[in-house]
Structure 1
């Protein structure tokens, strides 16, 4: 495996780093200030649209999407270092139209959507005119096993009727969020993995109620938000179904592979920034007669952080390479591994940085507390650690499976 970046990628890295330095970092505080001067879930800080316009002008737009004529034509391996740079700031992914859950939803529409679905929903998403959410998790179901999902999608004539409650539909709080991809059960009598379907539900449809937005460790993540949504006798045209009945799990696997690796790429960027902040801090502060940077334990923190970041990056690049060369299905073990490794690594690095900052590290005066809260959710989002570890163990046991199939269960 050769992880040397192409000239095209190196050029994009340079452009991204320059854009981050010139526009993203200086405007993080501006974004927060504007957000706090308005209804946090009713309006979008004006600086966001300004930055998105600059990103479009710079050609730093839709970099995540490899197959569409509207994307940059980058492979997963190409995109990895670029996504990492975006992950250094909580506002950056949206600026470049590379933010979840829009990226996953756009990939779903690109891969599985009809011509009409693409024109109505994919085009405005690619242009950054609207935003979207993904409604899969349910409050009354252990959603780490998606076969537990109970929201119903019932065919009635030329329509589907949706009933159920979803929560943690990230992005649904945004006033620009116009569409949700809803996963539900359309045939409870079908084989286990053929019972579910995905369907497009405009959020202004009668019967759709956003009950509340859910904070993460006290952060409301406005205007994006994570919503609990109630679907009561919601009727949408049958043409809103994506791909076909019973294809929900197949679509989910196509969606979650890239989504998981994108989270890991961004997480590595967050860890890099935390390490940089820690290194700056310990060279500025003095305790017991010498710089923090000269304390042995601090040097161990710095060394361990660098080692762990490099390990996580290499595993992420390997998974990206495999997705590009042999496909997402064959790379499923590596994707599962990085989904465990990257968030746990970043939490350790950020925790050390918080410790080095002392009381300032847990305040809003640094990015560290919000970084920690965001990344802690990734040990649950797109499948909890335990599910991914279970999968890795299963794949490993299959390698030594005996003829009786003892370990295949």
Structure 2
């Protein structure tokens, strides 16, 4: 146990040390105060044993993996696991080719809380090793040429078609996303993540390296966490830009809080999450703990609601994750029809994007984020991708939705040095 100089200095020193290994996962709260957060950050490094799956029983495999090992486990759930839960498919282009599911038990695990770093797995001397570590001088990132799968005109045409589905009653709301990408991209993933995490610090950020594939995330959203017998989900629906002028910024925040359209989008997803949690809950225990909470981040204000329940003792915690996956904030309502239309109208397989990554502790408590505001990178293929989206309802203005997507992409474009 050790008290380093500052959390910022230590965490980036530790990340550089971890990056020398083939696999590492860094989960960072960026010191946001959250009554459900267990640590300021966790850093899981190197592999004792791992599970990767793209077959039809991935959740069963994960359940068996957790029951067998009962250790700290870190990993991600790809969005396309939906095909194992419902009668769905994914046939859109996929140039990243992540497995649908990947989890590992680390050889080393470092936790940081209340100014103290502690080694949970491994020898305490690791902290001295990290302090003494001098990283190799890596080549700096080259500015990638970012392209879009959709022009603004094409995006707007698709939104209008989706609104026709809403008018017909096929769906009430859908989360529609578009991909931005770069081929022949040569970046230093750790450098890019550090820049993104400093520019846009968020409570569920993370750096996940799996050999040559990387997840570089500045997500503000929690998908699902478990504390004891309690499950908590915190969907985000509602986004507004920040202003450098304090008075104007407060007015924007107030306008978001009272925006009827944003409230309507948010409450539809809250209802969907309540329904998903009911599958795992003790009867009558599902409660909306906060509706339309407004939270401020460096780039945007967000409307976040909190829904909780008590896990039924007969339901395995992995089953509870499966019952709520994929998260309602990234699909729509009704959920299955929304996912069918997502496949029909989007151009790119989502893969890890709009999935989730996080950790499970030896007692079966867990915390998983929503993979948004995230760069995905294949260092071997030199392919870089990020997707942004927004919730579409009948009241949506297609031009405004496009602008919201661009707002959400701002931090990523900035750290990549792109327009």
Say which structure, 1 or 2, has more relative contact order (CA 8 Å, 6+ apart): 2
User: TM-score scaled to structure 2, two decimals?
Assistant: 0.29
Greater fraction of residues in strand: 2
